[in-house]
């Protein structure tokens, strides 16, 4: 539980450009992991879940920032 909170707070401190770079990298890794899973060569299945959740966290933070910016305008 603490790990997720630490990761989320760490992600919230990043700039929009950094978040976009992390999202891009995580999506590429997720794609590769999905291909490995299909061919039964994925060593650590929990990495797939962890990476999927990282993508979700980054997208959530980006959405929250867009919503906050729209509320200010």
Own/partner pairs, 62-67, CB within 8 angstroms, 24+ separation: 62/16, 62/19, 62/20, 62/23, 65/16
The predicted structure's pLDDT at residue 5? 75
- The model's pTM is 0.88
Specify the pLDDT at position 53. 95
Inter-residue contact 7 to 53 (CB < 8 Å) = no
| Digit-coded pLDDT (tens) for 21-73 | 999 999 999 999 999 999 988 889 899 999 999 999 999 999 999 999 999 98
Measured distance CA(55)–CA(26) in Å, rounded:
6
Q: Does domain 2-72 have CATH number 1.10.287?
A: yes
Q: For the chain, what are the domain ranges?
A: 2-72
Predicted local confidence at residue 23, as pLDDT: 97
């Amino acid at each position: 539980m603490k790990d997720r909170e630490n990761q989320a707070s760490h992600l919230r401190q990043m700039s929009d450009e950094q978040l976009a770079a992390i999202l891009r990298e995580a999506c590429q890794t997720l794609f590769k992991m999905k291909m490995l899973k299909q061919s039964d060569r994925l060593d650590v299945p929990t990495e797939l879940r962890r990476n999927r959740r990282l993508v979700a966290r980054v997208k959530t933070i980006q959405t929250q920032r867009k919503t906050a910016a729209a509320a200010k305008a």
